[in-house]
Chain A
Amino acid sequence: MDIFGKAVKFGDNVNTDVIIPGKYLELIDPEELGKHALEGLDPKFTQKAKDGVILIGGKNFGCGSSREQAATALKSAGVKCVLAESFARIFYRNAINVGLPALECIGISKKADEGDMILVDLRSGTVENQTTGITLKAYPLPQFILSLLEEGGLIPHVRGLIGKR
């Protein structure tokens, strides 16, 4: 499970209110949500992300509200994977549940810059910055989370559990 893309970088404590403000929570359509992803922090984000990017965050990425729309909006805007020093726990679960890989990668905020080309091997947790040649090791995802992502998220997984596949 390799993921490759250009880095878009933010700092520490990126909260779910800036990822998708409260006024958009009436939206359910992922595409509609994606149009407003991170607009409070970077109005050009959706433009940058549309061809597929790797989002780099600092500490406590996704803190704040439990709104799953935050993970959905990022995924829909074109984020293929989030790498951060640490995640807020609800965002982390939401990301995995909607099929957006999220990896804790200590040092990533210092070893990747906006525009760097990043290759992530989800299985081993190896993160390669192909622009700088630096390789980092993220905490590898536990097997059941990898399977969840392979299945496409929590909905197909639970469908499987109840014999709906």
Chain B
Amino acid sequence: MVTPERCKKLNIFEKILARASGRKEVVPGEIVEANVDMAMIHDLTGPLTVDSFHKIGAGKVWDPKKIVVIFDHLVPPSTIRAATLQKGLREFVKEQGIKSLYDIGQGGVCHQVFHEKGYARPGELIVGADSHTCTYGALGAFATGIGSTEMAAVFTTGKMWFRIPTALKIHATGDFRKNSTPKDLILKIIGDIGEGGAIYKGMEFTGSTFTNMSIDGRLTVCNMVVEAGAKAGTVPPDNKSMAYVRSRTKKPLKPIRSDNNATYEETLEYDAAKLTPQVACPPSVDNVKPASELSDVKIDQVFIGSCTNGRIEDLRLAASVLKDREIHNGVRMIISPASQEVYQQCLKEGLFNTFMEAGAIVTNATCGPCLGGHMGLLAPGEVCISTSNRNFIGRMGSPQSAVYLANPATAAASGVVGHIMNPNDLRRP
């Protein structure tokens, strides 16, 4: 039945939250109580969630089929304490009858594994006890990070309150030039709007750049919306993302898209064809400069991996730069494929041979050095160029170290010459 009074056009964020809270309409600023479709914890936020869950005293979780547990931050455990926490989390999973556990050797970085295993579905409301949960917006979900106690409340009730966000539209056209990538686009956007530029907001990515963009690229873009403060980010679901999700799950999909003429606080326009490789300089993600302006910055370490840029396309790009080249003397390069699946694909394609011939080491799938957890922390005074998402003081080790964020080609090329460079300026091997 047509309801003539329903004239307000809703954007995708409003529509998903309205659907999840059983409402026809919502307005920004309004607070709704929504039913959560999927919830995710990992080995660092999970133990605290379990601790809070026990303090609440509910006994049983609301729905074990809607909970996914992924071990990724400190795997394999780097300390006795980490091993003990992981042991406790395994026991919780068992006693609660949670089937979706991706233990060491079964998955990898949570924000890769979650969608590889088909849990990131369009139109769904997903919360994860990790800020980069926003990644799943690449497949049309409303996905956002929450804290551990909040997650314990979700485990108890299956519900959570949300303030309906306002939304920004990012409209991009044009094709990327060689060695410019979705990472450079999202860095450029964050540099323009600032670290708090999308605080409390949703960011919707539209235009031919995004429709032509691979799923890997969309995941990179949505992964970093939280670095601008956004609550969620999304590329509207299309044939490409629906096909990806269908190849990963048998569950029926109910995609939701913004109404035509939905309301946005602002629309920002970008031309991807004008974009050169970008670098976020310490100590904030919005301190973005073209890579070509940073050739004075000498580096000690390169990290290629993470939930931002540890996917197969990223590793192919890094390999294309490293092929027949050697890493600069005195520089160490650590490469972490984002999941077991990505790892196997690298093996099939022979990418690891290229990496090892260049002098890099390849780790198991882990968050590892990105958060200063393990497998490559920085000493005082050291500099790292990393494909991850944060360059805060002390993020990857000593508070006196420095982290520059870049795309995998820029990171690999910088490793070859020993200082930051635009990968297009690398001489032929």
List the interface of chain A (C-beta within 8 A of B): 12-13, 15, 17-18, 21-23, 25-26, 28, 40-41, 59-60, 63-69, 71, 86-90, 93-94, 97-98, 142, 144, 153-155, 157-159, 161-162, 164
Contacts and interface: CB of A to CB of B under 8 A. Distances in A.
A60 B196 contact: yes
Contact of A28 (B47, B129, B150, B157): B47
Contact of B45 (A21, A67, A159, A162): A67
Contact of B147 (A13, A15, A68, A142): A68
B392 A155 contact: no
A159 B146 contact: no
20 contacts: A23-B372, A25-B44, A40-B393, A60-B196, A60-B199, A66-B147, A67-B147, A68-B148, A87-B199, A88-B229, A90-B147, A93-B147, A94-B150, A97-B147, A97-B150, A142-B31, A158-B56, A158-B152, A158-B156, A162-B56
Contacts of A71: 147
B51 A22 contact: no
Interface stretch (B79-87, B92-100, B302-310, B319-327): B79-87
Nearest to B284: A13
Given A89-B199, A154-B152, A155-B55, 10 more contacts: A18-B394, A18-B399, A26-B82, A28-B47, A60-B195, A60-B229, A66-B133, A68-B45, A88-B229, A159-B55
A159 B152 CA distance: 11
Contacts of B51: 28
B157 A158 contact: yes
B256 to A, nearest CB: 22
Interface in B361-406: 371-373, 390, 392-395, 399
Contacts of A23: 372-373
B58 interface: yes
B334 interface: no
Contacts of B284: 13
Contact of B196 (A13, A22, A93, A94): A13
B149 interface: yes
B231 interface: yes
Given A40-B394, A90-B145, A97-B149, A162 B58 contact: yes
Contact of B231 (A87, A89, A157): A89
B131 A90 contact: yes
Contacts of B150: 68, 93-94, 97, 154
A15 B392 contact: yes
Sort chain B's interface into a size bin: 35 or more
B48 A89 contact: no
B400 to A, nearest CB: 10
Contacts of A164: 56-58
Shortest 10 CB-CB contacts between residues of A and residues of B: A60-B196, A68-B147, A94-B147, A22-B371, A66-B131, A66-B145, A17-B392, A40-B399, A22-B372, A26-B81
Interface in B118-135: 129-131, 133
B146 A93 contact: yes
B270 interface: no
Contacts of A153: 149
Nearest to B369: A22
B352 interface: no
B147 A17 contact: no
B109 to A, nearest CB: 15
Contacts of B131: 64-66, 90
Contacts of A41: 393
B200 interface: yes
Contact of B392 (A18, A89, A93): A18
B52 interface: yes
Interface in B35-82: 44-45, 47-48, 51-52, 55-58, 73-74, 79, 81-82
Interface string B325-350: 00000000000000000000000000
B153 interface: yes
A154 to B, nearest CB: 5
A113 B305 CA distance: 42
Interface in B141-165: 145-150, 152-153, 156-157, 161
A18 B393 contact: yes
Given A13-B284, A28-B51, A158 B147 contact: no
A32 B199 CA distance: 31
B56 A89 contact: no
A60 B392 CA distance: 14
B149 A68 contact: yes
A63 B230 CA distance: 10
A155 B56 contact: yes
Nearest to A99: B149
Contacts of B58: 158, 162, 164
Contacts of B393: 17-18, 40-41
A101 B85 CA distance: 29
A101 to B, nearest CB: 16
A64 B157 contact: no
Contacts of B157: 158, 161-162
Contacts of A87: 199
A162 B155 CA distance: 12
